[in-house]
Structure 1
Amino acid sequence: MHKKFLFVLRKPPFNGVSMQETLDSVLTIAAFDQAVSLLLLDDGVFQLKNGQQPDRFGMKDTAAVFGALEIYDIHDIRVEVESLQERGLKPRDLCLPVREIYRKDVAGYMKEFDVVLAG
């Protein structure tokens, strides 16, 4: 039985190993043919910002993992419009194509999923 998983990413990049662990979970679940979507809120929108330099922080470059999402059939990547605006970002500043979602619609969107995981 297929389930729909939503991973909610709220933390900025290079905030410890939790992001790498979350991405590992995303890819593992997707590898078992489960439907996986990502929602980036708050500082999580910085995860997809172009031009990051993780080596400056002694961290792994997660951009390669984000680039692999397509291989795992993960195409539903959404970012909260207000989170982008509050941080001076636009979708063109991100390294992947995303769909925008307004804050008022986030709760309803989350209800569409069988499992919601925060990372």
Structure 2
Amino acid sequence: MSQIADLLLVLRHGPYGGLNAREGLDAALTAAAFEVPLSLLFLNDGIYLLQSDQQPGQLPAKDLSKTVPALAMYDIERLYVRSRDLEQRGMKPEQLVVEVEVLDDEQAANLFHQHRHILSF
């Protein structure tokens, strides 16, 4: 985690409360298509994007938990969550649709210094 990467995308919003989460995932896929090295940090309600049992039901929204596993096909493999966010929402890493690296607050803060560009959604 000590090398400098080009882009950190921070996903802070849940999957169905607006367009932020979807736009963040779209930005990740677009950057990866252009071979931009990137990392994804899921913070706050953004960790709900990783939840395996999403049920958008009657919402006019795509089940974004299906998009997250596709990140690996684009070589997006640096996925991070903050342990505090998991704990506050009663979630465990094994409940997520992809494998992530769990960071403490200090490690998450350091992640921002390890990237040249940061976009927050």
2:84 is paired with a residue whose SS is helix
1:55 offset after TM fit, Å?
A: 3.1
- Structure 2 unaligned segments of length 5 or more: list them: none
- Measure, in 2, the Cα distance between the counterparts of 1:85 and 1:117: 25
Does the CA-based 8 Å contact 1:49-1:94 persist in structure 2?
A: yes
After superposition, the CA RMSD in angstroms is 1.2
1:33 is paired with a residue whose SS is coil
1:103 offset after TM fit, Å?
A: 1.0
* Selected match of 1:14 from 16, 27, 34: 16
> Which position in structure 1 is the counterpart of 2:64?
62
- Structure 1 unaligned segments of length 5 or more: list them: none
TM-score by length of 2: 0.90
- Measure, in 2, the Cα distance between the counterparts of 1:45 and 1:20: 13
* Selected match of 1:45 from 24, 47, 56: 47
Tell me the matched-pair count. 117
Identity %, equivalent residues: 35
- Measure, in 2, the Cα distance between the counterparts of 1:56 and 1:36: 33
Q: How does 1:33-112 map to 2 (within 5 A)?
A: 33-112=35-114
1:114 is paired with a residue whose SS is strand
